[in-house]
Structure 1
Amino acid sequence: MVAPRLAATADDGAPPASGDGLPQVVDQVALARLYGEPLFALPQDLYIPPDALEVFLEAFEGPLDLLLYLIRKQNFNILDIPMLDVTRQYLGYVEEIRSRNLELAAEYLLMAAMLIEIKSRMLLPPKKQEGSAEPEDPRAELVRRLLEYEQIKLAAMRLNQVPQYGRDFLRAQVTIEQSLQPRFPDVSLTDLQEAWRDILKRAKLVQHHKITREELSVREYMSHVLKALQGRRFVEFEELFQPEKGGTVLVVTFIALLELAKETLIEITQAEAFAPIYVRLAYTPV
């Protein structure tokens, strides 16, 4: 809600203005400035919520936390708690929070009742425990709970001091642009046939008319092809053939290539249509 602009005039009850434009007041000191104009008195209809100026000096996480604070602040021996002083200070704090937050005070009232009970039992004659020569101390259970709570609180503080992701540090993230691996298009059957015909044409130009009987093994030429591809990224399709050895060797070599491709031991690739055909080992990293 926007406050209305104030104008200091003689008709609305404000002090009359002086020659320099300021109201005629004793010290000429304004309480505040509203839209650039001095404010010498609080508006009559100004509403300030009751909790607007509250200041919390200490925050406690529960009755045990408050009790431990009162004991440690005054250097009391936790094994020999002066119940009168601690109970009086504790009840003073509980009375303060009761006037402000009744729901919050309920848990503290339960501890206050326990402190009053312990103080009352200390005023009575001590009761001896069965099988023990020393009488029972009414503060023993409270001391045990306080010591356990203090140990847990100290452990929590040590854990809180450990650097935490998102609070004390952030994970460094660096984006590195990597070029995508080029994917070669699959070789079509037509291009493979054209390459094979071209090899046959060149073989006829250099062939010799020798009539011999020769037993050729497809497996043997498969080994020859694998050895030729070993240690090389790409080998042109034409380099794997030896036209000078005749058409029979060319056929066996071509069949060996087809068998290797069928067994996925080699890959036959082509960058684009009508581009040179290359052969490589299927297990060779790019």
Structure 2
Amino acid sequence: MSQAYKVKLSTFEGPLDLLLHLVNQYEIDIYDIPMAELADQYLEYIHTMQTLELNIASEYLVMAATLIALKSQMLLPKQEIDPELDTYEEDPREELLIRLIEYRKYKEAAKVLSEKEKDQNQTFTRTPKNFGKEEKKPIIIEGEASVYDMLDALKHMFERKQWSRPLETKVEKQDIPIEQRMEEVLYLVRHANEGILFDNLFPYPSRSHIVITFMALLQLMKQNEVVCRQEDNFTHLYIYPFS
């Protein structure tokens, strides 16, 4: 029965994107990566994906195996190097470090190009609008929270609600079309005065309900219907209507 809810999401950009997210989130020095901490955090994200029965791309699992291997190498005692010999002990993290730096370089370049595109799109004019009676809305930054922030929020929600895993209830299973769930989420967001807490979109410990809600939220973000904000690392996520 659970096989029906295995899905693949194109929102994930790849294992290097997840690693860079972790480096930024935990303020890790990219030139001196603590492999044990990084590997543990990466595996927690993989575990959350597996809990939701998301179809994880093989490249994520390959990276997980690479991180575990690097973590093991870093835990081994270092061999003493004779100072009289002109030898160089290669850092096992070096190859991963080079890949991460190159990925960050391209990601930052893509961000600059995206911002220039947005600025260019603002050159079009529109008809005058009356702002006299418009209600004050919170300042929202588009795309401020990533899909990995949302996965992290799910993981902490499971812990807060003491859900060791999202179990199916004994109630007769009802399939919820993603379009219907999108309408429900959008209604809740639009009728929340100051945004809706991410946790409040997941009231039931049902795997199917959690996955469909998660997908509906991602689709709404993709369509610029809602935005997800996080004031700072490790704080609660809130969903706002796109303005």
TM-score, normalization by structure 2? 0.41
Bigger radius of gyration: 1
- Higher helix proportion, which one? 2
TM-score, normalization by structure 1? 0.35
